[in-house]
Each structure stands twice: as structure tokens, then as C-alpha cells.
Amino acid sequence: MARAGKVWLVGAGPGDPGLLTLKARAALRTADSVFFDRLVNPGILLWAKPGAVFFDVGKEPGGKKTPQEAIQRRLILAARNGKQVVRLKGGDPFVFGRGGEEAEQLAKAGIPFEVVPGVTAGVAAPAAEGIPVTHRGLSTELVLKIGARAEGSISGRTLVGYMAVEGLRDFLETAAVYGFSPETPAAVISHGTCRNQRSVISTVRNLAKNTRKARIRPPAIVVVGEVVGLKKRLGRQVRGRLKGQRVILTVSESLSSGWRNLFEEHGAEVWEMPMTRIFFLTPRGHWKKEVEKAQWIVLTSGAGVRALTGLVGDARRLAGKKIAVVGRSTAEILKTIGLRADFIGPGPGSEALARAWPGKRADPILHITGNEEKGSFAGALKGNGYRVKPLVAYRNEGPPRLLRPVRDALGKEGADWVVFASGTAAERFRRLVPRWPEEPKVAVIGPMTSQKARKAGWKVTVMANQVSAAGVLQAILSKTQ
Ligand code: SAH
């Protein structure tokens, strides 16, 4: 699927790779092209997608900086070629990083872009030395100022107020003392970056009145300065159609982070709450013999595929054997280890696979499975005289208990969507959740899950028509304007 290009303006943090944000890392994992600055720790680049192309735009081989216009042209060109582009800058991209200029150019060129803030050096470097940049009784003000020799404009100021909404009028009076005229653009932003972010854009003169009218609630930040005016041009950054929506993912631990990236890319606030966790058992000595004896190997989950790799050790041991899988998604996972399924069940479930079983009665079958689904396939086949041996190669662990603060938050705020990729997840999550203020919408991966979710008491809103994260996402987007 060809996607439109996009540019992420990403803060790489002050240096320590551990101070890169999760969102920045996710962007790196999807990027085709990465343009990075001199200050970016190259260790961070190790998180990029294999095959990504890197451009060092901090310094050219001769030691000269790539001119800003050239960087901008290349960003735009890459995005126009359909590339996912990460522009990685030290610290925060909008703090003395010329990120604002790049964003302006992108906006002008009509390129979709998104800003991922970073930890700025002005706060992080002092903290690393044990110096708090503000301290009660010592400092109520933090000035971030560019050095005198810096190129470009050195005039103008931005005033950012914390805890300034309750006493907004007083705060704006201080702004006057700092030399801001009543006509200076000013903004209040509440719950910034949260799903309920709101803002009031005004002038120093009218901000207090407009904020009261808009009934803005803390926490909020006040911004005073000409930079507020840039919002007109830069406020169009892509936010994704799921912006403002809380999505709970209940898919198994091993799949969860991939799903997370996809949903975050569309702007959702994602909570990962895996309802199944899988522990692979250490292969026992006799397992290899079981594989040797089998004519058919049956895999009824992605975990089964992973267990198979672990227990065979050398793929040549599978030569001459046939492999049957429960459905297409398991077949896809099997492909990732270089094996093609000889038979794909018509679905849904291992019972359907058993009903359509293509093998002869005499052929020994080995079902590589978890403790929970252990009997499902064998039970459906055995009555017909087939020789099935279930081999429990992994354990399905139930969900952990819901953390108290998570339960409280869900009980108070709820969620917009909850996603189920298995009936088990739907059942388990039903038992865990508190009383919601309002039931979330429910997205399921397929008909089996849908059936079980309904039985567990969920009202299913949408079903994917393709068994994958992308399928579920599409289904949810179809219900989102
Ligand atoms: N956008 C960056 C700042 C870019 S300007 C940010 O938000 O941090 C570059 C300046 O940042 C450097 O000249 C230096 O003064 C400061 N800086 C960046 N990383 C730093 C670090 N790890 N330690 C100390 N200063 C740093």
C-alpha cells in the first residue's frame, strides 16, 4: 500500500539515548529516511528501521554545515517521494533548533508533518549536574536565552507561564512589566498533548476574558509572544484521525507494541493492557523425537510458530513433513520464518481445521500448542481415529491484576475504544474492568472474537474485515469522521 509521505520533526533529547521519547522511537522505527543533526547521539539511530537511509545534515564531510535551505529542500523532496521522514534534532525541535522554520516550510509546501517534542538541554543538562532550574525560594523564573553570537534574529521574547491560569490577570500584568504590549499574541493551553487538550488564542489584552468564557480548566500553560502567531501556519500539523481518543489494546504482550505504533501513528492515546502473556517452556529432550515421528505438524497460533523454531533448532529437521495452520494470520507468521503452510484451515478456530483435515488416518500428527488450547484440535479429530499428539510448548498466562490507579482512572474517565483480538481477551477484560462512566466502543478482529465478546457482555461496534492490526484500525477509522 503506497502511503503519502510525512515528516516527523523529532526531539532526540539532550544526549542520553534513554531520554528519547517512546513516540520518537516509534517514529524512527517507521521512517524510511532519517535526517539527523550533529548533536544527536548516534546510539539513537540504532532504533531506526532496518534499511532506513541516514543523512547527516549537521556537518558535511569537509566539516561544513549543510545549509538550512538545502535541508528543507531535501525533507520536502523525500516526503513528496512518499517517504516517511524523521528529522531528528538535539533536545527539543522547537527550542533553538530551527524546527519552527522547517515546520513553516513543510506547511507551505503542503507536506503533512508532526512534531514530537524532546527533552531540552536547558533543563536536562543542569538536572544531570544536580541543578534544578527552578527552586522554591530561590528562583521563580527560568530564562532560556540564545548566545550572542548565534546567527539570525536575536530579538524578541517568549514568556511561558506555569500555574498561571488562576491568577491570569496578575500574570498578564507581569507580561506588561516584561515589555509585552496589550496587542501581543497570547495563548492558554490546557491539558497539552493529552487527549483533552484545549486552547484559547488571543492577545495579552483579551486573554483573561476569553479564557474565562471558554471555561478552561487547569492544568494549563500560558504563552505570551509573537511566536503564538505562528500557530496559524503550524497548527495544521497532522494529528491523526484518532486524536483525542483513548484506545485500550488487549492483544497479547508479544504483539502489543507493533499495534501500539500503528494506533499512535493515527493520533490515538494508547494503553497497552495485554490479556494474555505467553511463556515459552524450555524444550525437553523428547520433543525433538516427537517432531521426528510426526508426518504433520499443526500450528494453531503465532506462539506455536515461535515455539516450533525454538524446539526444532535446525529447520532441516522439518524436511519432508507437512505443516497445517489454523488460519491466514498464522500462515503469515509462518512465512516470516521461511516456511509455507501445506494446509490452511478454513477457520474460524481449530475445530474448523479439524473438520477440514486433509491428512490420512495413519499419518501421525503433532499439535504444537499452549496449555489452554491443548485439547481443542485433538479433541475434534480424535473421535475419527486420527493419531494426534498435543505438545504443550508454551504456557498462556492470564492478565495481571488491574493496577489500582489504572482501575481508578478508567472508572473515572473511561476510554473511547477497546480492541479485542481474541475471545479470551474479551472475557478476561470484562472481568477486570470497573464500572465505566460510559461503555467504550468495541473493535474485534474477526467473527469468532465477536461472538465471544458478545457472550462476555460487550456490545461490538466494529469488526475488522482483515485479521490484522491494520484491519482493526481500518474498521475503527470507518467509524471516525
Ligand atoms: N534544540 C536543542 C538546542 C539546540 S541549540 C535543545 O532543545 O536542547 C544547541 C545548543 O544546545 C548547544 O550549543 C548547547 O548550548 C546546548 N546543548 C545541546 N545539547 C547539550 C548537552 N547535552 N549538554 C549541554 N548543552 C547542550
Residue 128 in any domain: the answer is no
- Identify whether residues 48 and 20 lie together within a single domain: yes
- Identify whether residues 393 and 290 lie together within a single domain: yes
Which helix (H) or strand (E) segment is 22 a member of?
helix 22-30
Single-letter code of the amino acid located at 165 = V
The x, y and z cell numbers of residue 179, run together, are 515589555
The whole-number average pLDDT for the span 169-177 is 94
Which residue's entry shows cell 508426518? Answer: 295
Residue 50 in any domain: the answer is yes
- Identify whether residues 179 and 217 lie together within a single domain: yes
Percent of the chain with pLDDT over 90: 67
- Identify whether residues 293 and 437 lie together within a single domain: no
The x, y and z cell numbers of residue 480, run together, are 471516525
Which CATH number fits the domain that encloses residue 343?
Answer: 3.40.50.10090
Q: Provide the CB-side half-sphere exposure for 443 (13 A, CA).
A: 29
- Identify whether residues 320 and 393 lie together within a single domain: yes
- Identify whether residues 340 and 388 lie together within a single domain: yes
Pocket lining: 14 vs ligand 1, CB cutoff 6 Å: yes
Which CATH number fits the domain that encloses residue 26?
Answer: 3.40.1010.10
Please list the active-site residues.
37, 59, 163
The whole-number average pLDDT for the span 442-458 is 94
Pocket lining: 97 vs ligand 1, CB cutoff 6 Å: yes
Q: What is the pLDDT of residue 90?
A: 96
Per-residue buried b or exposed e for 325-348, using 16+ beta carbons within 10 Å of the residue's own CB: bbbebbbebbeeeebebebbbebb
- Identify whether residues 30 and 97 lie together within a single domain: yes
Residue range 70-116, pLDDT digits in tens: 999 999 999 999 999 999 999 999 999 889 999 999 999 999 999 99
Can you tell me the distance from the alpha carbon of 443 to that of 453, in angstroms, rounded to the nearest whole number? 10
- Identify whether residues 51 and 90 lie together within a single domain: yes
Residue 447 in any domain: the answer is yes
Under a CB-based contact definition with an 8 Å cutoff, are residues 358 and 288 in contact? no
Give the range among 221-225, 349-353, 397-401 with minimum mean pLDDT.
Answer: 397-401
Residue range 309-334, pLDDT digits in tens: 888 888 899 999 999 999 887 898 89
Mutate to test the pocket of ligand 1, among 96, 101, 143, 149 (most ligand atoms within 8 A of CB): 96
- Identify whether residues 210 and 250 lie together within a single domain: no
Give the range among 196-210, 365-379, 442-456 with minimum mean pLDDT.
Answer: 365-379
Task: Write out the residue range of the structural domain in which residue 313 sits.
Answer: 278-397
Q: What is the DSSP string of 56-82?
A: E-S--TTSPPPPHHHHHHHHHHHHHTT
Can you tell me the distance from the alpha carbon of 408 to that of 65, in angstroms, rounded to the nearest whole number? 52
The pTM assigned to this predicted structure is 0.78
Residue 47 in any domain: the answer is yes
Give me the number of domains the chain comprises. 4
- 77 three-state secondary structure: helix
Pocket lining: 94 vs ligand 1, CB cutoff 6 Å: no
- Identify whether residues 171 and 79 lie together within a single domain: no
* Spacing, Cα 60 to ligand 1 middle (Å): 20
- Identify whether residues 284 and 386 lie together within a single domain: yes
Of 365, 397, 429, which closes a domain? 397
- Identify whether residues 218 and 325 lie together within a single domain: no
* Spacing, Cα 280 to ligand 1 middle (Å): 45
Can you tell me the distance from the alpha carbon of 274 to that of 251, in angstroms, rounded to the nearest whole number? 5
Of 210, 234, 258, which closes a domain? 234
- The ligand 1 atom nearest the CA atom of 122: 8
Residue 241 in any domain: the answer is no
Residue 148 in any domain: the answer is no
Residue 439 in any domain: the answer is yes
- The ligand 1 atom nearest the CA atom of 97: 1
Residue 259 in any domain: the answer is yes
Of 397, 429, 455, which closes a domain? 397
* Spacing, Cα 138 to ligand 1 middle (Å): 24
